[in-house]
Structure 1
Amino acid sequence: MIGNSDFLMGASDSNQAPEFQQLETPEGELHLRFALTSGQQLALPAVGINEVFDPSPDEITPMPNVSPLLLGTFNVRGRVVWVADLGQFLGDPKPLNADRTQLFVIAVEDQDTILGLAVDRIVKMQWLDIDNLQASSSAPDGMAPFLKGEWVFEEEEQVVTLSLLDRISVLRSARWAA
């Protein structure tokens, strides 16, 4: 009741629902976790992501005479977004399978440059502590310049290595001109 002085003064009620009593403040920063065709998992900070799309392959228009890394363009509310196979860009040996009902595209932007990074699957959103980031030790040479580091942790009784992608390095790379 609004007129209740305990409510107005913020007095705690021991009869609160358990889910409200057990809320904790997450540690670290929120990241989008995703996987390449090879199964390798990477993460991007949520604050660096404009949007995540799931277009069908026929919504992406192939363009002639461009880098083979680029799948084509996609219209997002009147804005043209180039879509690239992130795995191929990073040197993943398996190309993205575009012969399926939908693709997963992560739109990232820096200044006036926007790019859609097509990935095999979106894993989940996860809070990750930047203080626990380690130097990349297992990344292939072609991928290393685009990584800020990696987290190694246990999840569901398995050791997981999760690499942090540097979106600015990806957007400004000379590989797009090849």
Structure 2
Amino acid sequence: MVANEDLLPGIDRDRVTEFQGELEAPEGELYLRFFVGSGMEFALPATGIKEVLEYTPDRINPIPNVSPLLLGTVNIRGRVVWVGDLGQFLGNSTAVNTDRSEISIIAIEDQGLMLGLAIESIGVMTWLDPDRLRVPRSNLDSMAPFVKGEWQLESENVPLKLLDQTSILRSARWAS
């Protein structure tokens, strides 16, 4: 039988063993971290995200007489999808910056219903332990119905809030 070392002639076997030790299975679940217009950081589970897109502002078609939370519609693979300002939806007064070359949009979907969430910027994909998720400290603000919990990460002062994409997608707040 052929050993791994036979496939990589000239490779230091001690270095290969050292490298294999560095590759550990990630713990927890995968989440996308991102920022809204006010600078607040949030997370969504990767399993709840259909796509992450960048659109030029002129490709977002404004629709008159709709909620001010909605920026308009985009065409995603032949499908017309509403795009809303997630930060303002959550109660932040700072709107997403549309005066730039591209706007980041997270497309979420549930039971055939899709919505694009316009955000300020994409952060990183990260593994977080759902067992360390705790109940948010403040449940009185306008974003409380859309926050599943929060992580207090060691390297950060502000808790990272986990959003519930299904409650965001199905909220009547988009119609007001």
TM-score normalized by structure 1?
0.89
- Determine the C-alpha separation between the residues in 1 that align with 2:149 and 2:140: 12
Partner amino acid for 2:151?
Answer: W
1:154/1:160 contact within 8 Å kept: no
Match of 1:42, as an amino acid?
A: F
Structure 2 match to 1:167: 165
- Fraction of identical pairs, as percent: 55
SS in structure 2 at match of 1:175: helix
Q: d(CA) in 1 for partners of 2:20 and 2:138?
A: 41
**CA distance 1:95–1:18, shift in 2 (3 Å):** same
In terms of mean alpha carbon deviation, does 52-61 or 17-26 score higher? 17-26
Pairwise CA distance, 1:144: 0.4
Partner of 1:20: 20
Two-structure CA RMSD over aligned residues (Å): 1.7
User: Does residue 1:47 correspond to 2:41, yes or no?
Assistant: no
Task: List per-residue Cα deviations over 1:90-121 (Å, max 9, x = no partner).
Answer: 00111111111110100000112100000111
Q: Which runs of 5+ in 1 are unaligned?
A: 8-12
Instruction: Kindly state the Cα deviation for residue 14 of structure 1 after the two structures are TM-superposed.
Output: 4.5
User: Where does residue 142 of structure 1 map in the other structure?
Assistant: 142
Shift of the alpha carbon at 1:41?
0.7
Report the equivalent of 1:120.
Answer: 120
Matched to 1:170, the amino acid is I
Gaps of 5+ in 2: 5-12
- Number of corresponding residues: 169
Partners of 2:88 and 2:29 lie apart in 1 by 27
Q: Output the CA distance in 1 between the equivalents of 2:110 and 2:146.
A: 15
Q: Deviations over 1:37-86 (max 9, x none)?
A: 11111100000000000101011000111111100011112111110000
Residue number in structure 2 paired with 1:152:
152
Equivalent position of 1:104 in the other structure: 104
Does the CA-based 8 Å contact 1:82-1:115 persist in structure 2?
yes
Residues in 1 aligned to 2:33 and 2:139: alpha-carbon distance in whole angstroms = 17
Match of 2:8 in 1: none
Q: Which residue matches 2:7? A: none
Q: Cα–Cα, structure 1 residues 16 and 38, in superposed 2: closer, same or farther, change >3 Å?
A: same
Question: CA–CA distance in 2 between the matches of 1:116 and 1:152?
Answer: 27
Counterpart code for 1:66: V
Structure 2 equivalent of residue 130 of structure 1: 130
- Following the alignment from structure 2 to structure 1, what is the Cα–Cα distance between the partners of residues 125 and 140? 25
Q: Tell me, yes or no, if structure 1 residue 76 matches structure 2 residue 76.
A: yes
Aligned to 2:34: 34
- The alpha-carbon distance between structure 1 residues 126 and 140, as it changes in their structure 2 partners (threshold 3 A), is farther
